[in-house]
Amino acid sequence: MTCHPAQSPQPITRSPHQEAMLTIALAGNPNVGKSTLFNALTGSRQHTGNWPGKTVERAEGTFFFNGQEVHVVDLPGTYSLAAQSPEEVIARDFIVQGSADVVIDIVDATNLERNLNLTLQVLELTDRVVIALNLMDEAEREGLQIDVEALEEGLGVPVIPIVAREGKGLTELIQAALAVAQGRRETHPVRVDYGLAIERSLTLLEQELQALGINGHARWVALKLLEDDPEITTAFRAGDLSACCLRRERDLLFGNPTPVPNVELAPHLNALADRARTMGEAMQPDAKVEIVRRRYELADRLVRRAVRRTRPAHHVLTERLDRILTHKVWSWPIMLAMLALVFWITIEGANIPSDMLAVGFDWLAHTTRQVLTALNAPWWVTGALVDGLIVGTGAVISVMLPPMVIFFTAFALLEDLGFLPRVAFNLDRVMRVVGSQGKQCLVCTMSYGCNITGIMSARIIDNEKDRLVSILTAPLIICNGRFGAGVVLVIILFGDQALPVMLSLVGLSLLAVFLATFVLNQTLFRGEPGGFVLELPPYRRPQWGRVIWRTLRDKVGHTMMRAVQIAAPTVLIIWLLGNIPHGAPFEQTPIGWLVRLVEPLGRPWNLSGEAILALIFTLPAKEIVVPSLAMTYGLQSSLADSQTVLDYLAAHWNFLTAYTFMVFYMLYLPCLVTTWATWKETRSLKWTVLGIVVPFLTAASITTVIYRLGLALGLAT
Ligand SMILES: Nc1nc2c(ncn2[C@@H]2O[C@H](COP(=O)(O)OP(=O)(O)OP(=O)(O)O)[C@@H](O)[C@H]2O)c(=O)[nH]1
Ligand SMILES: [Mg+2]
C-alpha cells in the first residue's frame, strides 16, 4: 500500500504502472465517509472526523482485489461541481478530466436528497459511476427504509449499501465498481430534464460546438455556459478545451498529446459563450436558478420513490444537545470546562508513563556507555551515540509521547462526536469582533496537532483575506511538539501549579491569535470577513476502541519519525558544538561562544544567553527544548539523566524567569517545516516572511507585557 497526498493544483498524470491498474475515484459531499472508505480499502491513515472539510488534497493509495491491483483516489468533499474553493476545484478537476476508470459516489443515506444533487451532476459527466450508500447504520437507527432497487432503477447506475466505518458491503461495492470500470456491467444514467427552454438552448449550443468540430462533454459544457460557471467559461473563452472536458475532432484524428489553448478557435468560442450567457439571462426564471431547481426536483422524486420513514423524523438528541452546546451563554462554561478537563487528564495521565520512558532511556544510555567503555571506544563515539543520540531522542520521546497520545485521544473523541464544528460556530461571534470568522477556529484546532496541518486546512476558508490571516496566525497555536515538552517543563518548574500554568499558556496562545488577527485585519487586510457557512453535522457516537488504537498508532509513529529524522540529528550537532575541542572548558566550545553572542537578545525579558540559544536550537523541531537547555547550560556531562537538567532549571530559575521563558517558547517562531508549509500554501515570499514576522512580533509583545507585569507584581524572586 502506498499513500501520499498529491500536490495541487497540478495536471493529473498517471505513471505507466498506474496505467496498468484500474483507478477508482472516491467523490461525494463533505463528511459522508469518503476517507473512512479510503482507509478501509487501502489501510491508509487519512484524517477522518465528524465535520465537513477535512480532506483538502487528493490522497492516493492502492489495494488488490481478486488479484487485480486497484488505484484509489480520495477526493476532497464538494457539494456541487460548480467548484468555488481550491479543494472543490481539485475534486471537480479530477472528475471532469476523466482521470478515473470509475467514480464511486459516496452518498449519506440519512440525507439522500441533498447528496443526489452532486450525484446527478457527476452522472452528467460520466456514466461509469457506482453509488455507495453509506451510513446505512445511522439510516436504520433513524427508521429510514431505503428501497435500493428502486433507487438503482431511478439513477440508472449500481447502488450498493455500505457501512464504511465497519467495513460492511465493501466487497460488493468493489465488485460493482470493477464491473463498471471493465465494461462488464452497463449503466444507463438518468438525465435531468431541464425544461423546454433550457433543453432547446442546450441542443442549439451542442450543435454549434459540433459545427466547430468540437466534441466530448458538449452537453455538460453547454450547461456550464448557460449557468455562466466562472472557471469553465473562462477556460472555454481562452480555447482551453481540455480543461472543459472537450476535444477537437481534428486533434483526435491526428493525435494531440499536449493539449494547448486553441488561439485560432478562441474568437468563435467567445462569441458562443456570449450567446449562451444572453440565452441564460433572458430565461424566466434565470437559467442558473432553473437548472438547480430541476436537479433538486428530480432528486426529490427519486427519494420519494425509494425512501420510506418508518417513524417520524427525529433529530431529538442532536437538537437537544445543540440547544445547550451552541447556547449563547451556556456554551462558554461548557467549552472551557471541556478544555480544562482535556488538559487535566493530559497532565495527570502523562506523568507516570513519561517517567517510566525516561527511566528506560536512562538505563539504555547507561548500559550502552558501559559497553562502549569496556570496548575502549573513542570518546566521540561514546559521546555522540550515548549523550547525543540515545539521550537526545530519549528525551524527545519520553516528554512528547505520553501527553500527545492522551491529548489526541481526547481530541479525536471530541472530533468524532462532532464537537469541533460547534466550537467554530460558538467562536464565530468572537472572531467577528477581531475581523475574522469561525472557520479560523477550525484552523486553530487543527494546528494543535501540527501547525502544518492547520495551515493546510485553511483551504476550507473561501475568503482569501481570512485564509491568509489564518495561515499567518496558525503558528501561534501550541503544536504537539511544544505541548509535550511544555507539559514536562511546566510540571518541573511549577510543581503544584502546573495545571493553571499550562491552562494560562494555552489561553495566552489563543489571546495571541486574537490579537494578531485583530492587528492584521486593521492593517494589511482591511475588509469584511467572509460569511460563515459550516454545516453542523449530527452528533455521532465515537468508536472508542478504534479512536484509541488509531491515535496510539499514528502518534507513536509520528513521534518516532520526528525523533529519528529531525530531533536526533539536531541533538547530535548540538552535542558536537558543546564538545569540541575535546576537553576544552565549556566557555571555549562553540556553544559557550554562541551563548555570549546571543546574550543581549534576552535582556528585555531578563532571559539568559543559555535560554535564548536553547530556543534558537529548537527551530528545526520544538520538542528538543530539554536536551537543548541541557547543552546550553553546560550540563552535557549529566545529559544522561534528563531529570538533572530539569532539576537544575527548577533550582536556578525564579517564577518569573520560568514563566517568561515558557510564554516565549510557546509562541515565538514557527519551526522550519511550518515556514515551508506557509510558502507552499501561499507561493509568496511576502506572506512566508510575514509568517515568521507576525508570530515573532506577537510573541515578543506578549512576553514583554507579561515580564513587566510580573516585575510590578514582585514575582521575580
Ligand atoms: N455511523 C457511521 N459513521 C460513519 C460511517 N462512515 C463514516 N462515518 C463517520 O463519519 C465521519 C466523516 O467521515 P470521513 O471519512 O472523515 O468523511 P469524508 O467524506 O472524508 O469528509 P471530508 O474529507 O471532510 O469531506 C467520521 O466521524 C466517520 O467516523 C458509517 O458507515 N457509519
Ligand atoms: Mg475526507
Least confident piece of the model among 17-21, 50-54, 503-507: 17-21
What percentage of the chain carries pLDDT values higher than 90?
45
Cβ(475)–Cβ(486) under 8 Å?
A: no
- Starting from the CA of residue 32, give the closest ligand: 1
Strand partners, 247: 215
Which atom of ligand 1 approaches the CA of 541 most closely? 1
97 vs 419, higher pLDDT: 419
HSE (side-chain half, CA atoms, 13 Å) at 41: 35
State the Cα–Cα distance between residues 367 and 390, nearest whole angstrom: 11
Of 384, 343, 652, 389, nearest to 509 (Cα)? 343
State the Cα–Cα distance between residues 622 and 664, nearest whole angstrom: 12
pLDDT recorded at residue 4? 37
pLDDT recorded at residue 611? 94
User: C-alpha 450: how far from its chain's center?
Assistant: 9
Question: Does residue 85's CB lie within 6 angstroms of at least one atom of ligand 1?
Answer: no
Q: Is the dihedral of CA 642, 647, 653, 659 positive or negative?
A: positive
Q: Is the dihedral of CA 481, 483, 484, 489 positive or negative?
A: positive
Least confident piece of the model among 73-82, 273-282, 404-413, 636-645: 636-645
pLDDT recorded at residue 134? 98
- What Cα–Cα distance (Å) separates residue 316 from each residue in 142, 146, 319, 525, 538? 11, 21, 5, 42, 10
State the Cα–Cα distance between residues 304 and 197, nearest whole angstrom: 26
CA of 48 to the centre of ligand 1 (A): 6
Question: Does residue 566's CB lie within 6 angstroms of at least one atom of ligand 1?
Answer: no
- Starting from the CA of residue 49, give the closest ligand: 1
CA of 11 to the centre of ligand 2 (A): 21
CA angle in degrees (0–180, nearest 5) for 534-540-545: 130
pLDDT band at 249 (very low <50, low <70, confident <90, very high): low
Of 510, 479, 492, nearest to 404 (Cα)? 479
- For a ligand 1 pocket test, name from 47, 88, 165 the mutation site with the most ligand atoms within 8 angstroms of its C-beta: 165
pLDDT recorded at residue 372? 94
CA of 53 to the centre of ligand 2 (A): 7
Of 703, 621, 623, nearest to 658 (Cα)? 703
Q: Where are the domains of the chain?
A: 4-181, 196-283, 331-712
Answer whether residue 2 shows pLDDT above 80. Answer: no
CA of 44 to the centre of ligand 1 (A): 15
When the pLDDT of each residue in the chain is averaged and rounded to a whole number, the result is 87
Answer whether residue 105 shows pLDDT above 90. Answer: yes
- For a ligand 1 pocket test, name from 36, 105, 459, 547 the mutation site with the most ligand atoms within 8 angstroms of its C-beta: 36
Phi and psi of 223, rounded to 5°?
-60, -45
pLDDT band at 638 (very low <50, low <70, confident <90, very high): very low
pLDDT recorded at residue 3? 36
Q: What is the pTM of this model?
A: 0.82
- What Cα–Cα distance (Å) separates residue 299 from each residue in 114, 294, 389? 8, 9, 61
Mean local confidence (pLDDT), 666-693: 93
Of 247, 193, 248, nearest to 223 (Cα)? 193
Question: Does residue 48's CB lie within 6 angstroms of at least one atom of ligand 1?
Answer: yes
Question: Does residue 77's CB lie within 6 angstroms of at least one atom of ligand 1?
Answer: yes
Provide CB contacts within 8 A for 16, sequence distance 6+.
Answer: none
CA of 26 to the centre of ligand 2 (A): 9
pLDDT recorded at residue 11? 47
Which fold is adopted by the domain 4-181? Rossmann fold (3.40.50)
Answer whether residue 9 shows pLDDT above 50. Answer: no
CA of 134 to the centre of ligand 2 (A): 14
3-state secondary structure of 316: helix
pLDDT in tens, 446-484: 888 789 988 988 988 888 899 999 999 999 999 888 888
